[in-house]
Structure 1
Amino acid sequence: MIINYFIIISFLFCSSDSNRVVTKNNYFNNLDLKLNLNPRDILPKYAADKYAGVSNAISDNLIDTIKVNAKEYTPSVVSSDDIIVMETSKGVIKLKYFPDIAPKHCYNFKKLANSGFYDETLFHRVIKNFMIQGGDILSRDKDRKNDGQGNPGWSINQEFNNLKHKKGILSMARGPSENSAGSQFFICHKDAPWLDGKYTVFGEVVENIHVIDYIAASPTDYTVIKSSCYNQIPEGEDENYWVQVQDPKTREELFAKVPVGSKKDNFRQKIINDLRSDNPAIPVIIKKIRVISKEEEK
């Protein structure tokens, strides 16, 4: 979805070394993004691996049932007084709607949220200083590789508007077609003016925006694996026990040592896959989202 079309736009953590790759602040030059990675944010890979194949993963049949229930669910009429309450594993976020500007998107989001479609899904793509993305029902299955490829079974037409993609803005993800938005959404962590007029803004954070910062700071497959790579094979090492790959974001060459017992080709592919993934190394869970009235909030 969104980042796949922008250009559109996980191994133990070792101590620092002169040959270790330094993550660059400008590795998202083409999108004017920044990472600003802090070493203390890096997780040992073995810790992240404990969470692979999340224990609460559900079956394809149950996913289909959730999609059917969402399709058949009819929410109450959307109101400008509606409040979006998003409960995550990092805290609760509250947002407001823009129903006069994007009525179809507001209704669709309320339909999905209040039917329980979003419950226990994940923020499957996180890019610090850009955005956090969630809403994919496939983030609940056992396959992390398909995160970002799911939909509710329908799409809605675009409602592009003049609202700017600034920090805290809630907007809808989509595919190449302007009218392909379904269930995936994103919340801006920083201003993203290149998205203006190309994605439908339909809400904004009004409370606990710091939770967005917490989520955006989550170590991802990309940041974790890159911390284990070097920009050259250390002196005295046998190059036959190392693999060379290219960082897909910076285009720089990286080197990683093949673990004992691992096959070189398999290890290389794992490195490549992780470098392509902005999925949090430890899942950030959307416990549930509900759209309620101000009266219900009291």
Structure 2
Amino acid sequence: MKFASLVIAASALAVALAAGADTDTNEEAVPAVTAAQAKADPDHWRAVDPERLFVFETTKGRILIEAFPDVAPKHFAQFTTLIQSGELDGTSFHRVINGFMAQGGDIYALKGRESGLPNIPGEFTFRRDPAEMPLQAAIGPVDSAKGGYVNGFPVETQASFFAEMSLDGLVTSWIPHCRGVVSTARTSDPNSANSQFFLMRATSRHLDKEYTAWGRVVEGEDVVLALKPGKESEGGEVVNPDVLMSAKIAADLPVAERPAVWVMRTDTAEFNAELAEKGEDVTVCDLPSVASVVEQ
């Protein structure tokens, strides 16, 4: 995928460049507890599975990403393989645009060859069982809500009542490209994703259901925003870019070196009550970011 840096269409790029700096309207969720307190309070904090926790060490600092395998299982499997093989180590954030995203993972640019893995079919949406994977902190009545959270991830969806009319009893859902979301680069071929990813520096909803979003940054959003941007006149291509020095899966690290993350649960009465005052006119990307607490 030599030309994957051309992933985002010119029209989308124009929208991003018009956005300017990396600002967003959604509020930051500030944790008021320590890691020890979160660990001792499973009713309000969820421990992130270390198999799903990606540890990116960059020249600007550490970024922790929680992956959501259920929404894009093929992408999760591919990036797990890439990380465990070390293929992403040393790749650069070669395309970074203020008010948009930071793109990395170009193995060809680093090694003069592709990843050796097949391209990944697009997983732009997924089929969700409202009973098994309920929409949490829903915007509006649960049965008709089209946005909310699932385990701390922003999700947009068909209304749950459509499940009663569908043949498989499921509804179509997807992760929107809110600030902090992790998605996958591709060419104009919808099934051409391979090793390149991008981290959302601002909300960019024109990418929804066009690119496969599969994770979110749970620590290091400030690092994402600190990555060196490219010139607008050159499409965001970066000269002397920041580097992804190493990518690891937390579960593969020795326990003493493994970061542990707890994410605020979005299925509690308290969390839902706090969001109720937002009303029904907001979108999921307008909702507060879900807080996380990190140990080590």
Kindly indicate whether structure 1 or structure 2 has the higher relative contact order, using CA contacts under 8 Å at least 6 residues apart: 2
What's 2:20 paired with? Answer: 35
What's 2:245 paired with? Answer: 287
* Rounded Cα–Cα distance in structure 1 between residues aligned with 2:178 and 2:114: 26
Report Cα offsets for 1:57-110 as digits up to 9, x if no partner. xxxxxxxxxxxxxxxxxxxxxx68521000000000001011111111011001
What's 2:203 paired with? Answer: 191
Shift of 1:278: 2.1
Give the 3 Å change call, closer, same or farther, for CA 81–295 of structure 1 in structure 2.
farther
After TM superposition, the score normalised by the length of structure 2 is: 0.55
Name which one, 1 or 2, has greater alpha-carbon Rg. 1
User: 1:194 aligns to what SS in structure 2?
Assistant: helix
User: 1:122 aligns to what SS in structure 2?
Assistant: coil
Give the 3 Å change call, closer, same or farther, for CA 31–116 of structure 1 in structure 2.
same
Matches within 5 A, 1:103-142: 103-140=73-110
Matches within 5 A, 1:10-21: none
* Rounded Cα–Cα distance in structure 2 between residues aligned with 1:2 and 1:139: 10
**Is the contact between residue 137 and residue 152 of structure 1 (CA under 8 Å) also seen in structure 2?**
no
**Is the contact between residue 103 and residue 198 of structure 2 (CA under 8 Å) also seen in structure 1?**
yes
Matches within 5 A, 1:1-298: 4-8=6-10, 29-31=14-16, 33-36=18-21, 81-140=51-110, 152-161=116-125, 162-215=174-227, 218-220=228-230, 222=231, 275-293=233-251, 296=255, 297=258
**Is the contact between residue 67 and residue 215 of structure 2 (CA under 8 Å) also seen in structure 1?**
yes
**Is the contact between residue 152 and residue 182 of structure 1 (CA under 8 Å) also seen in structure 2?**
no
After TM superposition, the score normalised by the length of structure 1 is: 0.54
Give the 3 Å change call, closer, same or farther, for CA 292–186 of structure 1 in structure 2.
same
* Rounded Cα–Cα distance in structure 2 between residues aligned with 1:150 and 1:176: 18
Gap regions ≥5 residues in structure 2? 23-48, 126-173, 260-296
Shift of 1:160: 1.0
Shift of 1:289: 0.6
Shift of 1:36: 4.2
**Is the contact between residue 50 and residue 250 of structure 2 (CA under 8 Å) also seen in structure 1?**
no
Give the 3 Å change call, closer, same or farther, for CA 98–154 of structure 1 in structure 2.
same
**Is the contact between residue 186 and residue 192 of structure 2 (CA under 8 Å) also seen in structure 1?**
yes
CA RMSD of aligned residues (A): 2.8
Shift of 1:279: 2.5
* Rounded Cα–Cα distance in structure 1 between residues aligned with 2:21 and 2:68: 32
Give the 3 Å change call, closer, same or farther, for CA 278–141 of structure 1 in structure 2.
farther
What's 1:21 paired with? Answer: none
Report Cα offsets for 1:101-153 as digits up to 9, x if no partner. 111101100100110000111011000110000001123259xxxxxx95545
User: 2:6 aligns to what SS in structure 1?
Assistant: coil
* Rounded Cα–Cα distance in structure 2 between residues aligned with 1:166 and 1:2: 22
Q: In structure 2, what residue type is equivalent to 1:133?
A: Q
Aligned length: 180
User: 2:210 aligns to what SS in structure 1?
Assistant: coil
* Rounded Cα–Cα distance in structure 1 between residues aligned with 2:238 and 2:17: 21
Gap regions ≥5 residues in structure 1? 10-26, 38-78, 143-148, 224-274
What's 1:51 paired with? Answer: none
